[in-house]
Amino acid sequence: MYEIGVVQASVLQAYFGMFGGSPRLFQQAEVTRAALVTSCRRMRLLDRAMSVVEHVKRQGGTAEELERAVKMDHRRNRLGWAIFVSAERLLAY
Domain ranges of the chain: 4-92
pLDDT at site 67: 93
Rounded to whole angstroms, the Cα distance separating 76 from 44 reads: 9
Give the chain as a DSSP string: ---HHHHHHHHHHHHHHHHS-SHHHHHHHHHHHHHHHHHHHHHTTT-TTS-HHHHHHHHT--HHHHHHHHHHHHHHHHHHHHHHHHHHHHHH-
pTM of the model: 0.67
pLDDT at site 90: 63
pLDDT at site 64: 93
pLDDT at site 21: 79
pLDDT digits (tens, 9 = 90+) for 24-75: 888 888 888 888 888 888 888 877 777 888 889 889 989 999 999 999 888 8
